Amino acid sequence: MKASTRIATFHFPSSSGAKLNNYLHPIIAREGWPFLGVAVAVAVVVTLLAGLWSIPFWILAIVVFQFFRDRARVVPQKANAVLSPADGRIVVVEKTQDPYTNRVALKISVFTNIFNVHANRSPVDGTVEVADYFPGKRVNTYPDTAAPDNETNAVTITASNGETITCVQVAGLIARRILCFVKAGDRLVRGQRYGFSRFGSRVDVYLPLSAAPKVAVGDKVSATETILAVL
């Protein structure tokens, strides 16, 4: 696949969880259709009943649309690249303990605000070893100290080159629903859509210490299209 190739479809698990099927909503995330449908329906009803008084409801529908938008992404094909799993801004690049694999690791954290796309994508080609969910609390995810107390979902991946990558979805102050579409044994390809976090959130990526970071704190990143590090 050439570097300029654009993914036209996404992947989503079947109801049985046996395999990943094509995900056919490349503009609006599947999770957003109920919310968008309700928002538009309410706006239409208010328009019919109250005319211009419906404008705030149409604005709300537009906000819902932009939150759940989910365009196709260009997937870099650089060997051993670790791609950003989320849109947002880099808030942490440091050496620390990975509590999910009990190792010292390079941690890179991406903070996603309410204006970013909230679909989460696989940073590497590999196999899911573990997918752990923790209900947690409702705390702002911008300070790094909030992560242990919040709703989290940690996915440990063995990359195709044998290295271990841990991706941790962390729910934010408003977000209260992390979705993860994969389980142990599933195969992932870089750029594949594997989860979704509603409203503010963060994704922590733990990498082997040998990884060379390609981003710094404060950098804006795009899911799949930004290379976080090279293994």
Burial 168-207, CB ≥16 within 10 A → b, else e: bbbbbeebbebbbbbeeebbbbbbbbbbbbbbbbbbbbbb
For residues 162 and 212, membership in a common domain is answered with yes
Q: Are residues 36 and 135 in the same domain?
A: no
Q: Quick one: pLDDT at residue 77?
A: 87
Q: Mark which of 39, 67, 95 sits at the end of a domain.
A: 67
- Residue 102 forms part of a structural domain: yes
- Asked, for residue 13, whether it belongs to a domain, the answer is no
For residue 22, is it within any domain? no
End-of-domain residue from the set 18, 39, 67: 67
What is the pLDDT tens value at each position of the chain, 231 positions in all?
333 333 333 333 333 333 333 455 567 777 778 888 898 999 999 999 998 899 999 998 888 887 778 878 889 989 899 999 999 999 999 999 999 999 999 999 999 887 888 889 999 999 999 999 988 765 554 555 445 567 889 999 999 999 999 999 998 665 557 889 999 999 999 999 999 887 668 999 999 999 999 999 999 999 999 999 999
Query: What CA–CA distance (Å, rounded) separates 14 from 134?
Result: 23
What confidence tens digit (pLDDT) does each residue in 155-197 have?
Answer: 999 999 999 999 999 986 655 578 899 999 999 999 999 998 8
Candidates 120, 86, 123, 98; CA nearest to 219 is 86
pTM of this structure: 0.78
Shared domain check, 183 and 161: yes
The reply to whether 46 and 115 lie within a common domain is no
Judgement on whether residues 97 and 61 belong to the same structural domain of the protein: no
| Tally of domains within the chain | 2
Classify residue 94: in a domain, yes or no. yes
Clarify whether residues 156 and 89 are in a common domain: yes
Q: What is the rounded distance in angstroms from the CA atom of residue 173 to the CA atom of residue 150?
A: 9
Please give the pLDDT value at position 12.
37
- 132/173 same-domain check: yes
Quote the pLDDT of residue 22: 45
Nearest 5°: phi and psi at 117? Answer: -70, 140
Residue whose C-alpha is closest to residue 202's, from 97, 106, 69, 84: 84
Residue 139 lies in a domain: yes
> Domain limits at 36?
30-67
Res 201: pLDDT: 82
Which residues participate in catalysis according to the annotation? 201
Q: Tell me whether residue 72 is in a domain.
A: no
* Judgement on whether residues 54 and 138 belong to the same structural domain of the protein: no
Residue 18 lies in a domain: no
**Do both 57 and 93 map to the same domain?**
no
CA dihedral of residues 90, 86, 64, 115 (deg, nearest 10): 20
CATH of the domain at 161: 2.70.70.10
Q: Same domain, yes or no, for 56 and 127? A: no
Instruction: Decide if 200 is inside a domain.
Output: yes
**Residues 85 and 34 reside in one and the same domain:** no
